[in-house]
Structure 1
């Protein structure tokens, strides 16, 4: 199973389309918010299962602010992250995810890639495709792959 994880595209359809075309075929796409009116475009971009949450710049969006669902044997919790103070550090969102029984928590908002894996939980942020803020300022996203053994592997990619 191959899952594309993106965030903070801020209405830039070209960047997202380029990544989707590069990574297809996909089994699932997760967008962690700040689509800025791109919900319908994203829904029609590819035929795979999609999970999209509302970000702090998605003012009039119909999207939910959080979602929980299964990815293989994993319980995932996704949110944009701004309500959990992720710009300060990921500890609050990590604790919230653990309290919900999540195995994986995904967030955006900071525009900086982040991946922490330990025995309790995976905490990740794919960064931003169009407005990166990490050193080198390259757009980024993540691929999550579930192997035949059911184990998840995460790969950070740059555009």
Structure 2
């Protein structure tokens, strides 16, 4: 299974479409971790599973998404309710509560992925206003029975950022 994961596009519509169009034929699911600042019925987010971020005022997105695909339980949230700019502990507790083994979140504008207690956490960074690294990023996550490959990409060029990308055993 392959997931396209993006976050924090903050009002950009054409740029979201460019990323989706670049990868839509190679992925199984499209995920936006919030702060799209688009409307729930916007054509740019058609087919994209999107959660509500702290800047999505008036939008009717869900606060969280939980999906199960075989042995994979995916949990998506923006992260602002879990204080992810300071610590990952509340988010890890929520992952445990919902039985997730893959957690996607945004909010901090910091691209990162890490494994903790058998749960893989992915923050694709910000498509519009990155804090770290300086590149505008998104993720393609390729999940097999034995491993998960997390590949970060630069938004404009679509170039893979190998220094950020990681592979984890399942």
Runs of 4+ in structure 1 deviating by more than 3 angstroms, as ranges, are none
Q: Is the 2:14–2:44 Cα contact (8 Å) retained in structure 1?
A: no
Report the Cα distance in structure 1 between the residues aligned to 2:75 and 2:143, rounded to whole angstroms. 17
More RCO (CA 8 Å, sep 6+): 1
Q: For residues 139 and 72 of structure 1, do their structure 2 counterparts lie closer, same or farther at Cα, with a shift above 3 Å needed?
A: farther
Report the Cα distance in structure 1 between the residues aligned to 2:35 and 2:88, rounded to whole angstroms. 19
Aligned alpha-carbon RMSD (Å): 1.7
Q: Is the 1:33–1:54 Cα contact (8 Å) retained in structure 2?
A: yes
State which of 36, 56, 59 in structure 2 corresponds to 1:58. Answer: 56
What is the aligned partner in structure 1 of residue 165 from structure 2? Answer: none
TM-score (structure 1 length as normaliser): 0.87
Q: What 5-or-longer segments of structure 2 have no aligned partner?
A: 156-170
Are residue 144 (structure 1) and residue 145 (structure 2) matched?
no
TM-score (structure 2 length as normaliser): 0.82
1:67 match: secondary structure = strand
2:122 match: secondary structure = strand
Report the Cα distance in structure 2 between the residues aligned to 1:92 and 1:21, rounded to whole angstroms. 34
